[in-house]
Structure formats: C-alpha cells, structure tokens
C-alpha cells in the first residue's frame, strides 16, 4: 500500500479538462450548478467505496461516469451468479472473478480518464485508518453491522464524511454521517442488534432494483458533497419503502452523549467490532447447536434401502416451490404450534436450505421430547452437491 499512497499524495490538483473530457462532461458543464468549476472539483475528488456489491454497483457506475477523478474500491469477495440479479456492474462472464478487479475493468471502460484503485482486502480495524486517510469521502455500501460501526468510527476519527445507505428486502435508509456538527451512526443506533434478533435468511432477500435506488441516492449525495451544492442528508434519515413507493424523512440529531462524536468521547481508537456486535469467530457466528446429523449420502442410502423416514422441510412455502426433497413442509416459525402434527415414534430427518434453520428445528424437537430426529448436514445445498445435482441451488 505504501507505493500507492505515495502516488496519491504526489498528485497535484488538476486545473483544466481535455477537449475529450469537455465533450464527455458537456451535460454537466452546461449546468450552472456544476460548470467547469464543479467538474474540476469532481475530477480532483477522491472517494472510497466500501463494498462493490448491490449498493456499490450504482455508486461505482455513477461516480465513474460523473468524472470523480479517483475512486477506491474495497472488497474481498468474488462474483457469483446470485450477485447478478442486483450487482449491475458485473456481467455473466465476471462470475468467479474478484469483485474489485471486475468492477475496475467495467468502470475503466466506462471512464478511462479516472483513476481506479482497488483494495482486495477485508476491511478491519487494522487497515481501515490507513485505507481511509487519503480519501475525501467514504461511502458505506456494506452489508453487516460490524463493518458499519467500523466505517463510522474510522470516519469520525479521521473527520471524513460517511455517505450511508442500507437496505432490507424492499426498504431502504440513507443519510450522511460524519460531517462537522452532524450526527454519526452511533447517534442513530448506539448499539447493534444482538445476532439472535436479526431477521434470518428465510426472511432475507432483496428486490434487485432497491440497492440500485438507494445506491443512486448515495451517489447523488456524494456528488453534492463534492460540489458543495444543495441540501444534503446531514441530520435527516431518508426512509424509502419500495412497495408503497413512499419516501419519508425523519430528523436525525447529534447525540450530545455519543461515545464517538459527543463532547465526552469515550472511544478514541478502533475496537473489535465483531466482539462489539456479539459475533465471535470468523465464519461460524451462530452458536453451534451440536445436534445429531445425517449426511446427504447416508440419507440417500437409507431412503434407497426403504427405511421409514419422515422428511421434515422447515423452509418457507416459497422456497419449497423453488426445489424440494418431497418432504413435509412445516416452516421453522410454525413448528412450535404445529409440533402435534409430528409422530415422535418415527424417525425424523429435518432439513432446510443450508442446515442452519433445521439445526434449530432439531434442537427444538429434542427439547420437546423427540428422540429420533436428525439434521440433514448442509441442507438442500449439500444434497444438490453430493447426491442429486438436478436439484437447483439458490
């Protein structure tokens, strides 16, 4: 990183545009709100995008197209097929490539006159300040609480604006944190939800256009901050309900007692954000329930043998429609009140998509007195991998 930092600080402000650039940005230049002065501000601006996924896609595309002269892209992930429904920077041929590299190729093609710097790394407390320090604005397009608190705290410590956007299914939030006298993320939410109270995978999912809209709002706010034009979302929380097609706005106040940006600051350096969010361990945040399991291959051979097994599918009805193992559907949430439908004398194999929800179901049933109940290890995904590839993965 040392060499790129040197290159960054060595760059002198640009004071003119080439004729090609004047043509490219003509629809900006003829607007008095942007003009040559504004376009040069954009060209001299350095914006760091945290995440190149759903929110990062419109952010990267619009900021590159607008002529933001230096874009930094932080992501460690690889493009997969499930990304393409919303991460419009990527094409089918990018599947399997690193997101930062694929995004760099796409954005360079869109605008060869800007500099795109990639950081193929996982943002954490040890690298955030170093990554952020040479950029003017940080845009948060992440998808998890630990990184959101990390981005907030690093921005406050360095005095950088943090353009925030967040989505859930068909609802979005956007605002600008980290401005002088403005609130920060901790003013809005002093603490993250404990892992157990966050909606599960079954209730997850996102309408593909939603990050497009929320990410575009973040791009607009970023450009306004660079231009110094208009009223930005500082002190206002914008809520967007895509189903009702409603925008609402709530007042967002700076909390005088905020531990991060208040007068009596108690946080002076980056902390362990996984611990703060109640998540321990890198890849296994959910406590292991330690329930008895059966592998897909074992299950297949027992079914082939004609064993009397009751297959309990604890997913949601709309997931059953995608694919199923011809099991009996009782969604996890309905299990407590439908438990009487199950025969405890029969052997029960519970499954879900990945094995997580069904582990909870097995745990619940064992506590309810069921003795012969096993969890299908790895769920329907593992069944597809190990037994029947004709079963689609989702």
Partner 1 sequence: MAVKVIIPTPLRSYAGKHESAEVSAGTVGDALGGLTTQFAELRKHLFTDDGKLRSFVNVYLNDEDIRYLAKENTPTKDGDTISIVPSIAGGSCANANVDRGIR
Return residues touching partner 1 (CB under 8 A). Answer: 50-51, 53-54, 74-77, 82, 86, 122-123, 141-148, 166-171, 173, 188-193, 195, 197-201, 203-206, 237, 239, 241, 244, 248-253, 255, 274, 277, 279, 282-283, 285-286, 333
Q: Least CB distance from residue 158 to partner 1, whole Å?
A: 19
Residue closer to partner 1 by CB (options 35, 195) is 195
Tokens 């914008």 sit at which residue?
Answer: 238
Q: What is the DSSP letter of 126?
A: T
CA pair distance 106, 91, nearest whole angstrom:
9
Residue closer to partner 1 by CB (options 40, 150) is 150
Q: Least CB distance from residue 344 to partner 1, whole Å?
A: 26
Q: What is the DSSP letter of 283?
A: S
Q: Least CB distance from residue 56 to partner 1, whole Å?
A: 8
| 261 has catalytic annotation | no
Run of H or E including 293: strand 293-294
Q: 128 and 270 in contact (C-beta within 8 Å)? A: yes
CA pair distance 66, 271, nearest whole angstrom:
35
Contacts of 350 (CB under 8 A, 6+ apart): 312, 314, 358, 361, 362, 365, 373, 374, 375, 376
Residue closer to partner 1 by CB (options 338, 371) is 338
| 258 has catalytic annotation | no
Q: Least CB distance from residue 10 to partner 1, whole Å?
A: 28
For the purposes of burial, counting CB atoms within 10 Å of the CB of 215, is it exposed (0-12), middle (13-18) or buried (19 or more)?
buried
Beta-bridged to residue 29, according to DSSP, are none
CA pair distance 97, 167, nearest whole angstrom:
25
Beta-bridged to residue 236, according to DSSP, are 251
Q: Least CB distance from residue 43 to partner 1, whole Å?
A: 27
Q: 146 and 271 in contact (C-beta within 8 Å)? A: no
Contacts of 245 (CB under 8 A, 6+ apart): none
Residue closer to partner 1 by CB (options 210, 226) is 210
The catalytic residue among 187, 201, 261, 277 is 201
Q: Least CB distance from residue 249 to partner 1, whole Å?
A: 6
CA pair distance 201, 35, nearest whole angstrom:
47
- Axis-axis angle for helices 35-44, 209-227 (nearest 10): 110
The catalytic residue among 155, 187, 258, 352 is 352
Residue closer to partner 1 by CB (options 21, 153) is 153
Nearest to 61 by CA among 18, 24, 116: 116
Residue closer to partner 1 by CB (options 7, 198) is 198
Q: Annotated active-site positions, please?
A: 201, 352
């Amino acid at each position: 990183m040392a060499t790129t930092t040197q290159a960054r600080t060595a760059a002198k402000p640009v004071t003119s545009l080439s004729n090609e650039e004047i043509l490219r940005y003509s629809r900006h230049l003829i607007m008095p709100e942007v003009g040559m002065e504004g376009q040069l501000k954009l060209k001299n601006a350095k914006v760091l995008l945290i995440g190149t996924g759903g929110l990062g896609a419109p952010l990267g595309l619009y900021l590159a197209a607008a002529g933001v002269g230096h874009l930094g892209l932080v992501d460690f992930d690889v493009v997969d097929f499930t990304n393409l429904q919303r991460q419009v920077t990527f094409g089918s041929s990018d599947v399997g490539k690193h997101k930062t590299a694929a995004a760099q190729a796409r954005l360079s093609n869109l605008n060869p006159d800007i500099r795109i710097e990639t950081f193929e790394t996982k943002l954490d407390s040890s690298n955030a300040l170093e990554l952020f320090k040479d950029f003017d604005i940080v845009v948060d397009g992440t998808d998890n609480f630990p990184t959101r608190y990390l981005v907030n705290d690093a921005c406050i410590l360095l005095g950088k604006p943090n353009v925030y956007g967040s989505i859930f299914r068909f609802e979005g939030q956007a605002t600008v944190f980290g401005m002088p006298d403005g609130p920060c993320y901790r003013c809005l939410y002093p603490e993250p939800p404990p892992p157990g109270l966050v909606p599960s995978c079954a209730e997850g999912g996102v309408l593909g256009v939603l990050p497009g809209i929320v990410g575009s709002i973040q791009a607009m706010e970023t450009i306004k901050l660079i231009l110094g034009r208009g009223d930005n979302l500082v002190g206002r929380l914008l809520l967007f309900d895509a189903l009702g097609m409603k925008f609402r706005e709530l007042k967002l106040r700076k909390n005088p007692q905020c531990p991060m940006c208040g007068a009596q600051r108690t946080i002076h350096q980056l902390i362990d954000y996984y611990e703060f969010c109640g998540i321990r361990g890198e890849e296994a945040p959910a406590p292991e329930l330690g329930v008895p399991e059966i592998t897909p291959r074992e299950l297949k051979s027992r079914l082939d043998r004609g064993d009397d097994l009751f297959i309990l599918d604890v997913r949601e009805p709309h997931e059953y429609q995608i694919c199923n193992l011809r099991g009996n559907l009782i969604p996890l949430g309905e299990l407590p009140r439908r438990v009487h439908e199950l025969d405890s004398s029969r052997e029960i194999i519970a499954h879900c998509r990945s094995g997580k929800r069904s582990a909870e179901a097995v745990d619940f049933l064992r506590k309810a007195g069921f003795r012969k109940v096993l969890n299908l290890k790895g769920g329907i995904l593992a069944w597809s991998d190990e037994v029947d590839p004709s079963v689609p993965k989702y």
